[in-house]
Amino acid sequence: MTAGNEEQEPLISTSVDNQRVTYNNSPQDGQTPNDSPRSSVGEVTVAIPQNRNYGAIGGIEKVTYTWADVNAFATESRSRGRRFWSFWKNSSDRMFQQRKQLLRNVNGAAYPGELLAIMGSSGAGKTTLLNTLTFRTPGGVVATGTRALNGQPATPDALTALSAYVQQQDLFIGTLTVREHLVFQAMVRMDRHIPYAQRMKRVQEVIQELALSKCQNTVIGIPGRLKGISGGEMKRLSFASEVLTDPPLMFCDEPTSGLDSFMAQNVIQVLKGLAQKGKTVVCTIHQPSSELYAMFDKLLIMADGRVAFLGSSDEAFQFFKELGAACPANYNPADHFIQLLAGVPGREEVTRHTIDTVCTAFAKSEIGCRIAAEAENALYNERKIQAGLADAPWAMSSTTRARRSPYKASWCTQFRAVLWRSWLSVTKEPMLIKVRFLQTIMVSILIGVIYFGQNLDQDGVMNINGAIFMFLTNMTFQNIFAVINVFCSELPIFIREHHSGMYRADVYFLSKTLAEAPVFATIPLVFTTIAYYMIGLNPDPKRFFIASGLAALVTNVATSFGYLISCASSSVSMAASVGPPIIIPFMLFGGFFLNSGSVPPYLSWISYLSWFHYGNEALLINQWAGVETIACTRENFTCPASGQVVLETLSFSQDDFAMDVVNMILLFVGFRFLAYLALLWRTRRAK
């Protein structure tokens, strides 16, 4: 039978009868728990050695990774009643669980020096299995089963310490070069006792091993904005980031996704080379070409959440040939096997029968029995631990890890590395420096020209007050929208690196804000320097420097509020949409559009949170305090006699200057702290 023959029977019935399988893996110490593997007379008996002789890579054992009886269920909670009055009822009355089984009793093993490819059609369970093997099941998915490292039950901490996981989506800071990225990875991934020179040596080794020498000084690139390295080089860079610590076990999710055939072959060659060095490599792949198929050492073919086959390509050819479904000549075996087990619309029953026949035949085959016996060995060790007959192999390392920091680098090392990367990102971002300063210069000149040469008369009072409020408005909106995308745009990168144990959330937040601090200290100084004397504000040099300091303080308060919006928003578009409606009320209560003395009592709390109010009052005090006379050029107009009268008209007081500065500092600290809490909340929510 071939994959394209739809009229014949789904599969030729096998000659394998129902057999009982026994496992000769009795414990050497003579102690047998009650639920140890059964021992009976059967037709097939497979002997599993208790102790394998594992080599070492960099002082770490080679890893044989096995899994047994792995099941995964997708759970969905739905309300029984849609009526609005049912909210007070018990949650158990209103909610029920829908369970869909994603994986069914999956057994398998991956050995050192081998590249294992998990294949299957869409929905077969490839990604679910990989997530289950790496203890990364998403929310709403419940996974059970035993996962073992060298025959001993594994824990998430132990697996994280011995493995690397290359995810399907490549996430990088695009303005860094390849070498800069790897240097940063070496600083935060490697153990803290490794000297700097050895880290740099390892970076150079990885660059040469993964053929990144030609592009090591090329920027990674930002799609649509900054041209960088190719897709294949980007995928190899993902591998390079993970192999810096020389892990003995590697997982890769769809490493060839989005690549052409040539680049895909180069990527698989990289994985093959890593496996030949003694690593255990497990990857998922959707539908490989015949060239890629020939490079895999072992195949794990999934179908409807079950194992249809696990073994070498030659064994796969022979297995399906015995079932009457041999791969035709000059045909890609991967396409043949996947099409054979893929669901066909309108023929669900035939497909289900085909999958059931293949999976059952494999479970009863010699290869399937051998793999099941290997997995049963891990189950047996787990039962011994549960019965108290053996100690958990990873308990000591987990206890030690619980006492220590979960991060390999110290806090200071993390801070230096993340600050260095953040500073490089700021200085290399073409839109960040040039456009901001150009915008600042143009707006300051424009305001200076419009309000040029104001005199101290009744017309000049209104114009000067308007120019000062324009200071506040420009410093606020320009800088809030400059940082509103800082955290939400890098959030996926931060969450991935943070959850990988590379650096802390507080280190990231502090480094990002400090790296951009020089920019936000320089911009208001440039703006004030150009516009201040063009407008004709108070000419006292002392007043000029006070105005510059106040503008810098307003800028940083507005920036802090922008950080808060950025950390609390899930996307750049959401942050840009939420920002203006929140800022406008603060601007209305700044004392320019609405007199501070006429604010309704029930809305006065908004003015207490408005940096427009404090900044406007402080700048006006700086401008009008000490001005004794104001020229009155029109007798039929009310003319303020002095600067004190101007302040009193606006319900401002010179005595509040110090409190205005203190309150802006408090807002600066408060908004930054709330922004950090929002970032922390998003981090834990993503976990």
Q: What is the mean pLDDT of residues 524-553?
A: 93
Same structural domain, 680 and 642? yes
Establish how many alpha carbons lie within 13 A of residue 250's alpha carbon, considering only the half-sphere containing its beta carbon: 35
Same structural domain, 224 and 324? no
Same structural domain, 237 and 265? no
Structure confidence by residue, pLDDT tens digits, 475-488? 899 888 888 888 88
Tokens 């007199």 sit on residue:
595
For residue 380, the model assigns a pLDDT of 62
Q: What is the mean pLDDT of residues 135-158?
A: 83
Exposed/middle/buried for residue 593 (C-beta within 10 Å: 0-12, 13-18, 19+): exposed
End position of a domain, from candidates 246, 263, 291: 246
Exposed/middle/buried for residue 661 (C-beta within 10 Å: 0-12, 13-18, 19+): middle
CA nearest neighbour of 652 among 617, 612, 605, 608? 617
> Sheet harboring 65-79: ordered strands across?
95-110, 65-79, 141-149, 152-153
User: Which two tokens mark 440?
Assistant: 């600042």
Local confidence band at 636 (pLDDT 50, 70, 90 cut-offs):
low
Same structural domain, 582 and 570? yes
For residue 641, give every residue at least 6 positions away whose Cβ sits within 8 Å of its Cβ, in sequence order, or none: 629, 630
User: SS in 3 state form for 51-120?
Assistant: CCCCCEECCEECCCEEEEEEEEEEEEEEECCCCHHHHHCCHHHHEEEEEEEEEEEEEEEECCCCEEEEEC
Q: What is the mean pLDDT of residues 101-118?
A: 90
Local confidence band at 646 (pLDDT 50, 70, 90 cut-offs):
confident
User: SS in 3 state form for 499-544?
Assistant: HCCCCCHHHHHHHHHHHHHHHHHHHHHHHHHHHHHHHCCCCCHHHH
For residue 387, give every residue at least 6 positions away whose Cβ sits within 8 Å of its Cβ, in sequence order, or none: 33, 34, 35
CATH number where 340 lies? 3.40.50.300
Domain-located, residue 113: yes
User: Which two tokens mark 563?
Assistant: 């950080």
For residue 392, the model assigns a pLDDT of 54
Q: What is the mean pLDDT of residues 340-363?
A: 82
The whole-angstrom separation of Cα 50 and Cα 27 is: 8
For residue 61, the model assigns a pLDDT of 66
**More confident call, 376 vs 9:** 376
Same structural domain, 274 and 380? yes
Same structural domain, 555 and 620? yes
End position of a domain, from candidates 192, 223, 246: 246
Q: How far is CA 179 from CA 212, 221, 560, in A?
A: 9, 13, 32
Long-range contacts of 194-203 (CB under 8 A, 24+ apart): 202/244, 203/179, 203/244
The whole-angstrom separation of Cα 83 and Cα 74 is: 26
Domain-located, residue 567: yes
Per the structure, the count of domains in the chain is 3
User: Which two tokens mark 664?
Assistant: 């802006």
Domain-located, residue 451: yes
Tokens 């009193």 sit on residue:
648
Q: What is the mean pLDDT of residues 510-517?
A: 91
* Mean of per-residue pLDDT scores for the chain: 80
End position of a domain, from candidates 330, 364, 387: 387
pTM, to two decimals: 0.78
The whole-angstrom separation of Cα 550 and Cα 158 is: 53
CA quadruple 358, 363, 365, 366: dihedral positive or negative? positive
User: Which two tokens mark 358?
Assistant: 């293949």
Percentage with pLDDT > 70 across the chain: 82
Same structural domain, 454 and 534? yes
The whole-angstrom separation of Cα 213 and Cα 205 is: 10
Asked if pLDDT for residue 209 goes beyond 50, the answer is: yes
Domain-located, residue 444: yes
User: Which two tokens mark 195?
Assistant: 């000297």
User: Which two tokens mark 15?
Assistant: 């000659």
74: phi then psi, degrees, rounded to nearest 5: -95, 120
Q: Which helix (H) or strand (E) holds 495?
A: helix 486-499
Structure confidence by residue, pLDDT tens digits, 573-594? 888 888 888 899 899 888 888 8
Classify 246 in phi/psi space as left (phi over 0), alpha (psi -120 to 50) or beta.
left
Same structural domain, 233 and 271? no
Domain-located, residue 27: no
Same structural domain, 199 and 118? no
Local confidence band at 552 (pLDDT 50, 70, 90 cut-offs):
very high
Domain-located, residue 283: yes
Q: Which helix (H) or strand (E) holds 283?
A: strand 280-284
Same structural domain, 290 and 323? yes
Exposed/middle/buried for residue 38 (C-beta within 10 Å: 0-12, 13-18, 19+): exposed
104: helix, coil or strand? Answer: strand
Which of 22-36, 103-117, 144-158, 334-348 shows the lowest per-residue confidence on average (mean pLDDT)?
22-36
Domain-located, residue 153: yes
Q: Which domain holds residue 567?
A: 428-684
CB 103 within 8 A of CB 72: yes
Asked if pLDDT for residue 314 goes beyond 60, the answer is: yes
The whole-angstrom separation of Cα 377 and Cα 51 is: 11
Which of 44-48, 459-463, 605-609, 658-662 shows the lowest per-residue confidence on average (mean pLDDT)?
44-48
CA nearest neighbour of 252 among 235, 266, 265? 235
CA nearest neighbour of 630 among 638, 645, 642, 620? 642
For residue 258, the model assigns a pLDDT of 78
Structure confidence by residue, pLDDT tens digits, 54-100? 333 444 568 889 888 888 888 764 444 444 334 344 444 444 455 78
Asked if pLDDT for residue 42 goes beyond 80, the answer is: no
Same structural domain, 141 and 239? no
Highest mean pLDDT range out of 23-27, 239-243, 403-407? Answer: 239-243
CB 424 within 8 A of CB 176: yes
The whole-angstrom separation of Cα 334 and Cα 301 is: 9
State the DSSP string of 615-660: HHHHHHHHHHTT----B---TTS----SHHHHHHHTT--GGGHHHH
The whole-angstrom separation of Cα 314 and Cα 334 is: 12
Establish how many alpha carbons lie within 13 A of residue 511's alpha carbon, considering only the half-sphere containing its beta carbon: 23
The whole-angstrom separation of Cα 127 and Cα 149 is: 20
Same structural domain, 160 and 194? no
Local confidence band at 20 (pLDDT 50, 70, 90 cut-offs):
very low
Local confidence band at 611 (pLDDT 50, 70, 90 cut-offs):
very high
219: helix, coil or strand? Answer: strand
CA quadruple 543, 545, 551, 557: dihedral positive or negative? negative
For residue 405, the model assigns a pLDDT of 59
**More confident call, 154 vs 240:** 240
Which of 29-43, 52-66, 593-607, 646-660 shows the lowest per-residue confidence on average (mean pLDDT)?
29-43
CB 481 within 8 A of CB 563: no
Asked if pLDDT for residue 169 goes beyond 50, the answer is: yes
Q: Facing residues of 4 across strands?
A: none
Domain-located, residue 41: no
Local confidence band at 635 (pLDDT 50, 70, 90 cut-offs):
low
Structure confidence by residue, pLDDT tens digits, 444-472? 999 999 999 888 887 888 899 999 999 89
The whole-angstrom separation of Cα 593 and Cα 582 is: 17
